[in-house]
Amino acid sequence: MGKPTVLLIQPPIHDFALYDLYLKPYGLLRIGKWLERSGWRVDFVNALDYKDNETTARLGRGKRKSNGTGKFHRTELPFPLKKTERKRRFARYGILPGVFKRKLSESSPDIIMITSGMTYWYRGVVEAVETSRTIHPDIPIAVGGIYATLMPDHCRKSTGADFVVEGDAEPTVRRILNELGLPVPSAGIEGPLLLENVWQDAGIIRVNTGCPYRCDYCASAVICSSFTPGEAERAFSQLEEMHKRAGTVNFAFYDDALLINKERVLIPFLEKVIQSGLELNFYLPNAVHLQFLDREIANLMVRAGFREIRLGFESSSSDFHRRHDDKYSEGDFPAAVRNLKNAGFKPKDITVYILAGLPRQDYREVEESVRYAADFGVKVSLAEYSPVPGTPLWRESVEISPLPLEEEPLYHNNTFFSMEWEGFTLENLNYLKQLSLSFNRKL
């Protein structure tokens, strides 16, 4: 008998807008590495492959940046909803459907595993399952990832997948393989499968798993129930291998709590990077907890090659933090900005996120936060609230929103501003966006 074969699929994404801010199938390729080390053949189809020649010949090459971010191929789709007056352009992002089908047909799998991202990206997952069924009608299909974890019942119903993997994939995948009579790996899951065409432009590093905070607007605790510190040596080895094999120089951290326990993990990791002499660029698609940005870590970040810092400040209101996250004390934000600037970060390299549009949030609170942060000479970015199933704010969001959030995940997309009320209208939101932009232009 030959090797058992798994077909891993990164599905296309159906959305109103999409930008590649280090969007990689990190978790899926970790499963691929895990299976490959145990003797499996691993086939991978990336429907978001922006380098695909045939798709590029038809649709043109999307604008990309040297740091590994940019646009995906885009094909417009009909607007999919009827229960809203707020119409938006809707599109499919990824390789052409015909190319996707052909690539799927080139594999002869024993099982198909499909990852999922945001809940409102579910239609791309449905497409991936339906296309796989057409080509491999008798092969079991498992769907995992964020959408599968946050809305497992909706995922089962909408996709028709044979298995839905919630949360940590390893125990469930072991059970599925055992149930199907397929070989079960003995070792645990570690780093991702190193495919040059995936990691060449930008790689992913994750030093810790989960987050110890329980912010009521965040799904981190739902997706990963506990915080587990990583190992500096292991993280650096994965970075070094990716750099050597794929030539990767841009790296993005996927951590939800990068600076937690930094003395044990991140600081030794950065010291290894500095000692190696590698000329690398580090980026933070996820914001960091600003209360841990002391002088030492700020200086190490500059020396290691961090090109940006994103701060999850959320609000200047102490009442906001008492109600929602209990993370920050007065003085944390000014100290963090001061340490970053003294270390050498320029104002344009420091972005502060301000949360906007939470249930019953007044726009004036957000305006005050925008003005407060801008006074420190940093970039201000509005983080528009999206209702997330499983979070403490989810039930309140469902109760007050005029949109059917439980029935249609597309309404979770912040393009619909689902928490609009008399104290925070769409007009108020547009005003806040322009206000932030006006401050940022002065930097």
Q: Which pLDDT belongs to residue 114?
A: 98
- Say whether both 252 and 400 belong to one domain: yes
Q: Is residue 188 in a domain? A: no
119 and 212 belong to one structural domain = no
Residue 202 domain flag:
no
DSSP string, 232-269: HHHHHHHHHHHHHHH---EEEE--SSTTTTTTTTHHHH
Shared-domain flag, residues 157 and 214: no
**DSSP run (H or E) holding 381:** strand 379-384
306 in any annotated domain: yes
Whether residue 193 is contained in a domain is answered as no
Beta pairing, strands 5-10 & 111-114: parallel
Using alpha carbons only, what angle is made at residue 59 by residues 55 and 64, rounded to the nearest 5 degrees? Answer: 90
Mean pLDDT for the chain overall: 95
- Report the pLDDT value the prediction gives residue 308, as an integer from 0 to 100: 95
**Within a domain: residue 268?**
yes
215/164 same-domain check: no
Taking the whole predicted model, whether its pTM rises above 0.85 is answered as yes
Q: With H, G, I as helix, E, B as strand and everything else as coil, classify residue 310.
A: strand
pLDDT of 274 = 98
Q: Find the CATH number of the domain harbouring 277.
A: 3.20.20.70
Q: Residues 26, 67: one domain?
A: yes
Give the domain-ending residue among 142, 164, 180: 180
Average of per-residue pLDDT across 221-234? 91
Q: Is pLDDT above 80 for 443?
A: yes
Please tell me the distance from the alpha carbon of residue 383 to that of residue 400, in angstroms, as a whole number: 20
Domain of 54, CATH number, reads: 3.40.50.280
For 294-297, the CB contacts below 8 A with 24+ separation are: 294/339, 295/339, 295/342, 295/343, 296/267, 297/259, 297/262, 297/266, 297/267
Same domain, residue pair 175 and 279? no
Q: Do residue 176 and residue 212 come from a single domain?
A: no
User: Taking 90 as the threshold, does the pLDDT of residue 329 lie above it?
Assistant: no
Is 368 within a domain? yes
pLDDT at position 211 over 70: yes
pLDDT for the residue 1:
58
pLDDT tens, 424-437? Answer: 999 999 999 999 99
User: 21-47 pLDDT, tens per residue?
Assistant: 999 999 999 999 999 999 999 999 999
Query: Quick one: 213 and 174 in the same domain?
Result: no
Q: Determine, yes or no, domain membership for 185.
A: no
pLDDT tens digits, one per residue of 280-294: 999 999 999 999 999
- The parent domain of residue 121 ranges over 5-180
Of the candidate ranges 1-5, 205-209, 371-375, the one whose mean pLDDT is the lowest: 1-5
Q: Are residues 175 and 213 in the same domain?
A: no
pLDDT band of residue 186 (cuts 50, 70, 90) is confident
For residues 161 and 246, state if they share a domain.
no
Tell whether 194 is covered by a domain: no
User: How many domains does the chain contain in total?
Assistant: 2
